[in-house]
Every structure is written in C-alpha cells, then in structure tokens.
Amino acid sequence: MPGGCSRGSAAGDGRLRLARLALVLLGWVSSSSPTSSASSSSSSAPFLASAVSAQPPLPGQCPAVCECSEAARTVKCVNRNLTEVPTDLPSYVRNLFLTGNQLAVLPAGAFARLPPLAELAALNLSGSRLEEVHAGAFEHLPSLRHLDLSHNPLAVLSPFAFSGSNASVSAPSPFVELILNHIVPPEDERNNRSFEGMVVAALRAGGALHGLHRLELASNHFLYLPRDVLAQLPSLRHLDLSNNSLVSLTYVSFRNLTHLESLHLEDNALKVLHNGTLAELQGLPHVRVFLDNNPWVCDCHMADMVAWLKETEVVQGKDQLTCAFPEQMRNRVLLELNSADLDCDPILPPSLQTSYVFLGIVLALIGAIFLLVLYLNRKGIKKWMHNIRDACRDHMEGYHYRYEINADPRLTNLSSNSDV
C-alpha cells in the first residue's frame, strides 16, 4: 500500500506538469492566431487588466516611495512630500515612519486596509505639516501603542481623534505613549478656539486613554491647564509639560495619578506652588518633579514652598532653584532662604517702576493741557454758563406760574373764562 500511494502521487504530479505545459502551448497558439482571434483577445484585455488592478496588494509588497525591512517589520516613508498615507503598505509593518511629508489632513479611517495593518504598533507622523486630525483617524489599528504627532501645526484636533468616530461604543484605545510636542498652530489659524481646550477634549473624550503611560505636551505655549485635564489618565507614569507658559497649577489635580513617576515642569512661568499642589505632589509615592528655570517670586507667599522643598525628596535638582524676583533676591537659592528673607512687600522690578513713572508723567501732561484749554476759553465758558442759568430760570418761573394757577380755584376759573 505505501508503494501504491507513492506511485499514485507521482502519477498525479506528472499529470499536473502535462496540464501546465498544455496551458503554455495554448497561450502561444492564441498569440499567433489570425487577427479575428486577436481582436477577441484584445476585447478581453481590459477586463483582465481591471481584474488585476482590483486585486489587493500583496502582503509583502513595499510602496515605491518607501523603504521596507520585513526582517525589522519597519517601513520608512520619510521626506517624500506625500499628501496622503500610502494605500499599499505591507501588512507585516510594525514600525511606520511618515515624517517630513505634506499630509495636511488625516481623515477618518486613514489607515484602514485589506488586509488590515493588525501588527502596527508604532506610528511616527512628526513634521508632516498636519493641520487637521479627524475623528477615527487611527481606527482599524488594534495594536497601535506609540503615536508621535509632534511638530505639526494642528489647528483642528477632533475630540474623538484617539477614541474613534463614536467614543460611546468604541473600546479603549491601546495607546501607551502619546507624543504631542510643539503642535500649536499659528495664531491666525486657531479659528477663535482655545488651543488648550481642544487638546484637553481629545485627551479625555470617552475615557479612551485610560491605559496611557507617557504623555508629552512640551513646547505648546500653554498658559493654563483646564480643570480635570488628567482625570481620564489614571495609568499615567510620565508627564512632560516643559517649555510652556504655565503661570500656576492651582486648578490642576494630580491626586488620581498614583502611578506617576516623572513630572516635567521646567521652563515655564511658575512663580510659586501653593499648598494644595504641594500636598498632592507629596502624596504621590513614586513621583520625581523637575522645576528648573522658572521665575520664582521670593515673597511671603513662597514661605510654604521653601519649607516643603527643605523637607521633600520629590524635587530633582532642588538645590539649583533660585529666585527671579524681587531684584534684591535675584539668584538667591531657595533652599538657603528663611522666613526673615521673605518679605510681603516686594519692590517692583525696574521695568515696572519705569512704566509707572512714565504713566504718571503722561497723566500729568494731559491734566495740564485740559486746564490750559479751560483757561483760554474762560470767557466763552462763563457766557455759556450764564445762558444755561437764564434758561433754567425761565423754565422754573413758567413752572411756578402754572403751579399757582392750578392751586387757586379763582385763578383757575378766570383762566378758563379767558380761554372762552
């Protein structure tokens, strides 16, 4: 029986080879047939071409404008001036670089493919001049964990950009790392919308980023952080808010960030951290806080923060923190201050003093000009006042005359008879 099976399989292979040879011969005969058969074959050519073009790209195919490495599961389409995401990306791609292009708009389902890009885990779109990211732009990417949208002037960021086109029914996204550094658009492209509010809406829509571990929002000119900006990010471990223009953290709560390990607040405009913020930071068990290069104002409001800095080990490089105002305290190390150094009546900076002096001079000049005008027109003003006085007197005399007539019945009857 084993021998029979082997002979049967060998005979089957021979028949298969003969069939393939017959097909090749038939193709050669049809190509050398008369013109009538050529015309019939030419009429079927468009159908064959359309059928071939309608086929999906091969799973291992690499776009012509990209560089692919199947071994590294990486595709790089860098600095190619692409205006849309290539449609023929290989399904094996795990790391996709689309940096330095001209994408402008990322519509819904921008990465929807057949077969789907099921293994894509890291997507870098930095520096691609993206201005709009629509709802559901990253749908159909079930394994996407790392997303970089840095250095794009995002004038429009949909609240459902990271959560899908319908956040109420979509599952939480798999994002672990979200890089949004330097995505602030020019002033004339903000459409009278709050940039901070737009970004925060995208971060907390639908609770899709509950599993996010790293969030970078550096260099975005943030003046403030809206309330509950971090409420939907309980798993956050690294938060970068450096190089913004944050003046205060009064309305920001870090209480629910129990896994937070690093908080970068360098190069902002922070003047003091109040007791509520200090207590929340001290309550985080693993956090390290970076506060370098902020213009600390060393007045009486700084006393609690100085005392906290001397006791805590949370702040990294705390011995390098120095005062910026007032002038006599400039470059004093915060850890070296005591309560006697922290005066509640700080001297204004010279620039502000100069401004107030200039304002006083201008107001005095305006007042002198006004008095001079009054003096030069004193006769006309006096005549005008007399005219007003005479007009008011005539009016009051007429009013008094009518009142006397109405009060005396005899005069009233006399007035009515004279009217008759």
Which pLDDT belongs to residue 57?
47
User: Strands across the sheet with 67-69, in order?
Assistant: 67-69, 74-76, 95-97, 122-124, 146-148, 177-179, 214-216, 238-240, 262-264, 288-290, 315-316
Contacts by residues 304-311 (CB-CB < 8 Å, ≥ 24 positions apart): 304/274, 304/275, 304/278, 305/272, 305/273, 305/274, 305/278, 305/334, 306/334, 306/335, 306/337, 306/342, 308/273, 308/278, 308/282, 309/334, 309/335, 310/335
Please tell me the pTM assigned to this model: 0.69
For the chain, what is the radius of gyration of the CA atoms? 40
Q: How far apart are CA 260 and CA 258, in angstroms?
A: 6
Q: How far apart are CA 92 and CA 126, in angstroms?
A: 22
Which pLDDT belongs to residue 280?
94
Q: What are the CA-CA distances from residue 412 to residues 22, 121, 209, 396, 398 (Å)?
A: 135, 102, 89, 20, 16
Give 141's contacts (C-beta < 8 A, 6+ positions apart).
111, 117, 120, 123
Q: What is the pLDDT along the chain (420 residues), one digit of tens a residue?
A: 444 444 444 444 555 455 554 544 444 433 334 333 334 333 333 333 333 333 444 456 899 999 999 999 999 999 999 999 999 999 999 999 999 999 999 999 999 998 999 999 999 999 999 999 999 999 999 999 999 999 999 999 999 999 876 544 455 678 999 999 999 998 877 766 789 999 999 998 867 899 999 999 999 999 998 888 898 899 999 999 999 999 999 888 899 999 999 999 999 999 999 999 999 999 999 999 999 999 999 999 999 999 999 999 999 999 999 999 999 999 999 999 998 899 876 455 566 667 778 888 999 999 999 898 888 888 888 888 888 888 888 778 777 777 766 766 665 555 555 544
Q: How far apart are CA 34 and CA 349, in angstroms?
A: 98
Other beta carbons within 10 angstroms of residue 142's beta carbon come to 13
Q: How far apart are CA 42 and CA 304, in angstroms?
A: 88
Residue type, 159: P
Q: How far apart are CA 395 and CA 406, in angstroms?
A: 17
Which pLDDT belongs to residue 51?
34
Q: Which two tokens stand for residue 414?
A: 């006399």
Whether omega before 326 lies within 30 degrees of 0, making that bond cis, reads: yes
User: In terms of Cα–Cα distance, which of 225, 272, 230 is closest to 244?
Assistant: 225
Which pLDDT belongs to residue 165?
64
